[in-house]
Chains A and B, each alone.
Chain A
């Protein structure tokens, strides 16, 4: 994936911006401008909460190029609380503790360093849901 492609998907990678279909109400991620449920145009932005649970996961021992430094790392399909599935790495977790149904939340992390040009690519990963994010912080308190 080249730099322009990363640029085009920045809203998705940094903020999980997808779409909502105003015809059938489907929440869509990644965005595709045509509703996969009713095949009608759907391009209204919808920002997902970033919370969900692990639908499936795998720990990779033989990586594609560019991911050697992370081995072994755990990838997952996460079921977002709004419905869609999303593919991402898990982070801040012992692979042995990962299980299907584990509550997770999106965080921004380094995905890789891109080839000879050396750009550092950031994007979403998911970590175990922190307990204190379940309740809103008191107003005025630093995040």
Chain B
């Protein structure tokens, strides 16, 4: 396989883009990435997206986006893996370049969520779960995570407020990210008193519904320096899977797919958790941050939440997370999130994260989770 690098990226601010449609969101990010990489053509375009059919009545995003960025004719298609669609598209692009099938590949993630009103977006998001045996019983996606959180609190003897550090850290880091949705800090008191969504998960445990698009450009590492002074090597991009339904898991409190993808990624990159300088994890809900830290080997089982209590996840801590706001603070336009994460790691390892720079960051990891953990994709990047 050929070594693959990121040579450019672009992102829209995450938020409520009433003036932008799905296609124009995607086009803004792709055009920004092409400009950043200094390219006017590409061999292929892969688009990560989860919900366009439900939210915009639109499938067939590959050809659509290629056309609207002036690349009509190239290979292009959509990749879907629920909330991990962005990273799944990255995996497709990575394989295309690594396998010598393409030299110049654009990978985009896009989600347009705010056109949907009322409970329809809640219904659409629940399609990541088992449509025969979870959602017919009235489960929302939030409540599936709530079932995990309740059991975690019970088994490991922790309180809801112990998770506050995940949300507080994310919001604090979002303040300095111009692309983040919530650029204001929150307090522990606000966290504890937030409105309940699905007990015990409240509003401030949860990442927000949002619009957004992000894109990266990939090429073989040996050509990367001819495009940019800031190439970022993809040391690994690996996928693990598990059952869709929580009730089908051998142990619902352990992210088996996360463990599989992380072990494959560590092996391919030849690194260990101790080598990772920062970890952009999938904090769609605070409980997911704790479970991700455990599956990735940064904490023992039941102790992931402690990293939020003792400062380990801060930018100057042992394993900084959500350094540009995470899903909680930056926002979670689901199919785009995996690409936002990769861009944020790329910014960190090239020393271009501004006020949120993690000191001496060289090796960073991003992890994108689909559903309640059925698809987990781990990417390791190095400057």
Question: B-contacting residues of A (Cβ < 8 Å)?
Answer: 1, 5-6, 9, 12, 30, 36, 55-68, 70, 73, 75-77, 84-89, 100, 111-112, 121, 123, 125
Contact = CB atoms under 8 A, between A and B. Distances in A.
A111 B136 contact: yes
A16 B294 CA distance: 34
Contacts of B150: 56-58, 100
A64 B247 contact: no
Contacts of B197: 61-62
B248 interface: yes
Contacts of B138: 60, 63-64, 66-67, 70, 73, 75, 89, 111-112
Contacts of B134: 87
A57 B137 contact: no
A66 B245 CA distance: 21
A73 B139 CA distance: 10
Contact of B132 (A1, A57, A63, A66): A1
A63 B119 contact: yes
Contacts of B195: 61
Nearest to B126: A64
B132 A5 contact: yes
Interface residues of B, number: 38
17 contacts: A9-B132, A30-B132, A58-B146, A58-B201, A60-B199, A61-B197, A65-B119, A65-B122, A75-B137, A77-B246, A85-B246, A86-B133, A87-B245, A89-B138, A100-B154, A111-B137, A123-B136
Contacts of B248: 36, 85
Identify which of A36, A56, A88 gathers the most chain B CB atoms within 10 Å of its CB.
A56
**Top 3 A-B pairs ranked by shortest CB distance?**
A58-B146, A85-B247, A56-B151
Contacts of A58: 143, 146-147, 150, 198-201
Nearest to B129: A87
A59 B140 CA distance: 11
Contacts of A86: 133, 247
Contacts of B106: none
A56 B156 CA distance: 13
B146 to A, nearest CB: 4
Instruction: Name which of A62, A67, A76, A121 has the most chain B CB atoms within 10 A of its CB.
Output: A62
Nearest to A89: B137
B243 interface: yes
B119 A64 contact: yes
A5 B131 CA distance: 10
B227 to A, nearest CB: 45
Contacts of A70: 138
Contacts of A9: 132
A123 B132 CA distance: 12
A57 B138 CA distance: 13
A128 B62 CA distance: 51
Given A56-B150, A56-B151, A75 B143 contact: yes
B118 interface: yes
Contact of A87 (B122, B196, B199, B247): B247
Interface in B112-138: 118-120, 122-123, 126, 130-138
Contacts of A123: 136-137
B139 A75 contact: yes
Interface string B210-250: 00000000000000000000000000000000010111100
B252 interface: yes
B142 interface: yes
Q: Specify which of A5, A73, A85, A87 lies most central, judged by the most chain B CB atoms within 10 Å of its CB.
A: A87
B118 to A, nearest CB: 7
